[in-house]
Structure 1
């Protein structure tokens, strides 16, 4: 029976001046279903990585101990499986089947048993693609399922998951919950999970552990969380089950800025383009694009943003957005023309980081537009304050938590003050407080006349903010 324990444990990353977290003490017994809660950046992902034994000695300094049955997790190979926050970082091999089989092969499992496990794991997580399918052709949500399948195939005693439903559509998230429930019921595996979709997992969890930077703030069954504690935690940004209220708007939709004409989208080299019903993007409006994983939402966003060419048809900028640009098609614009007109926030925020500090990252766009340095300084300071990144001004973007990276990526797009802002999963990794602040920020931008297009599975965001919703199916985009 595997038992995880942390005794006055803490960690400080080498590049940071303060600990990520400290004085964490808890014990997790075999078969428990633990939900780790805490504000964004409090160290939840760091603790998960410590449990899995993947924090390197060169990454930082450890205090106290984390043990599995009295031994360091590093010495318990194969007993703990970890699904990381960013599924891109767990894709190893070119084909789906090989990637899922990789962990089993490293454990020395017989070949014939490996492929039985691979097929069973893919079925469990709903990864319905051929085993020889290219991993690079998977959507973000499919890669999340791929990472989970690779862990499940190893049949670990403990499964650690870092926001496993962040990039999944609602049906996929529910399917994942059902799959994990089957695994736990069949094997007795222990689950330790970081999640912001707490409503989905509240009845699944047998225990919640609320983390603060200086220790455990509360530990017990979800049903026993006192109301006064719940109110206190919500004020600090900790996600708890709640009801979302729409944000009132202070204006109406303005002129059309972008339109599509007989558009078909797909990644370069795609042999199966997706037709898109003609749509338009208006100033002063939030347009939400929703749909199942793999339906083409991100390809549509990148096409609208002028970052990849249409497979057929085109995206056209109206005269108001085009201005002095040389073409009415954003895909033809120079980078500087695009920067000041359409800002894009990628699904994986680290794909757009180019500087060594948060401040320099936010300064890059305005500097490329040759804005005066005094204006850049004022703009960047304002953005860092609004996005709660001021204390991290000199930190490297890659040392930030997932939620902090997401806020920074939104900030880099806002820094160039584009008329159209296209965001792929803008609320990924946010705690309750920063989620609300992100919604407030996007609402203010809408009221100022910016057009906002968001690709999202976050139904709470849509309920709070969306003026129109376009739902993307497996084959078509429908109004």
Structure 2
């Protein structure tokens, strides 16, 4: 870790932020400071302002992210930010060039740049060739790649927005150790935002709790758990040792399809994904003879390590990827052969990157979009309230937090009550309260006869599944 920068001192004073298109500030009059070498956990419910604080310290607000900024932000060392959605930070076509981007902008010698590239990739356990296209990586792999890029610049201020939210438990442990080791090695001031805070608490010096953009607690981890557990649970924070929340009961009329969902069967399924890079078109086999099924009236979880093929299998079930071998049966014509309108009527798909599905300029219009095209009525206000988005009805979908975007994607894809419900990591970025709403929706759709498939690393969600499919190396068992 040579070339390290000393830990930063950071301060925000009288800080306020109103995103472009929003009528009110999401943070107002906030004062916070962080000392060199501190490890700080930022906690709070979805939409509390945690990600906004990280972006402010990284210098993104008002420039890269449009809006009205008030107060001052002072940081006396380079900052490295891992975004909540890692795909937002990818700038290069290959793994090696992506990690090299930061060191190159620091004008480091070529030998040092590539030493840091290999060191960063090794630290996060991403052992692909440096020429591998970034477009060939899964969401969890992109998360590790983005972290490798942040570590490569040796920041004095390390800002991590849900660094393990899209990873399986084993990989999460590896990445967490990587973060802690790297931060200690350079003495970096480190701020971590996570909804599942338990694994981080024992490593932190301090816990700062935000609620609607204001500090409601600033204390030690020991006092935090001893004095604030009940209040934090009410606010939606996933406190260690507290049982999972009960999924929300969702009105059947909001999820009942016109006809029961089909049984979708993957038979010896092969899917080859092609990506273009400076080295030409590369093809890799994401699924290799996978055989399994999604059944009506049941919720099936697709589980497995990052890059195993879960998202590919889910997208193939949704008719969004055509197999290069084998087939998916259960409906005629098959979903992959249907035009957009007929496909949308049959299946609702929530992508791992929720922004990929947004089509309208306001949250309200986004919810009503697909249902309107299909001629179906939707209780937009009721659905927004159910998913805790009612106060954002007039906001631009692209100006929401990561967790808010994911909930909007769920409503927008499923408001028309399809018989096939397919969700890719739907609970990432959710607090206890919003998790209960998203999970409640999936279970209600199942109970109403829909065929529900969920690709997830969320063990709490997997526990509520009727069937579990284990995906690894393009194979499926279950």
Output the TM-score relative to the length of structure 2. Answer: 0.91
RMSD: 2.1
CA distance in 2, matches of 1:37, 1:287: 31
Partner SS state of residue 183, structure 2: helix
Number of corresponding residues: 455
Asked if residue 61 in structure 1 is aligned to residue 68 in structure 2, the reply is yes
* Per-residue deviation, 1:228: 4.9
Gaps of 5+ in 1: 70-75
Quote the residue 2:365 is aligned against.
Answer: 360
- Distance in 2 (alpha carbons) for counterparts of 1:108 and 1:139: 30
Q: Does 1:313 align with 2:313?
A: no
Q: Work out the CA distance in 1 between the residues paired with 2:292 and 2:137.
A: 26
1:300 aligns with 2:307: no
Counterpart in the other structure of 1:335: 340
* Residue 51 of structure 2 is aligned to residue 45 of structure 1: yes
**Equivalent-residue separation in structure 1 for 2:272 and 2:218 (angstroms):** 47
Q: Counterpart in 2 of 1:436?
A: 436
Q: Which residue of 2 aligns with 1:212?
A: 211
The answer (yes or no) to whether the contact 1:316–1:330 under 8 Å persists in 2 is no
Shift of 1:246: 7.7
Post-superposition Cα deviations, 1:148-178, rounded to whole Å, max 9, x if no partner, equal 1111111111110111112112111111011
How far apart are residue 184 of structure 1 and its match? 2.3
> 1: CA distance between counterparts of 2:236 and 2:289?
38
Distance in 1 between residues matched to 2:66 and 2:286, nearest whole Å: 43
Distance 1:470 1:357 in 2: 36
SS at match of 1:243: coil
Partners of 1:364 and 1:216 lie apart in 2 by 37
Q: What is residue 278 of structure 2 aligned with on the other side?
A: none
Contact 2:287/2:474 (<8 A) preserved: yes
442-451 or 87-96: bigger deviation:
442-451
Contact 1:93 1:135 (8 Å CA) reproduced: yes
Instruction: State the alpha-carbon separation in 1 of the partners of residues 196 and 245 from structure 2.
Output: 17
TM-score (norm 1): 0.90
Describe the SS at the equivalent of 1:65: strand
**Residues 239-250 of structure 1 correspond to what in structure 2 (within 5 A)?**
239-241=238-240, 242-244=242-244
Segments of 5+ residues of structure 2 without an aligned counterpart are: 1-6, 253-259, 276-282
Distance 2:57 2:319 in 1: 42
> 1:263 — aligned with what?
269
Alpha-carbon distance in structure 1 between the residues aligned to 2:248 and 2:389: 27
Alignment of 1:337-416 (within 5 A): 337-371=342-376, 375-376=377-378, 379-416=379-416
How many angstroms apart in 1 are the aligned matches of 2:274 and 2:92?
A: 21
Deviation (angstroms), 1:214: 4.7
Give the Cα–Cα distance (whole angstroms) in 2 for the partners of residues 457 and 171 of structure 1: 11
Q: CA separation in 1, counterparts of 2:262 and 2:368?
A: 29
Tell me if structure 2 keeps the 8 A contact 1:292–1:474: no
Q: How does 1:142-161 map to 2 (within 5 A)?
A: 142-161=141-160
- Superposed, 1:115-130 pairs within 5 Å as 115-130=114-129
- Paired position in structure 2 for 1:187: 186
Is the partner of 2:285 in helix, strand or coil? coil
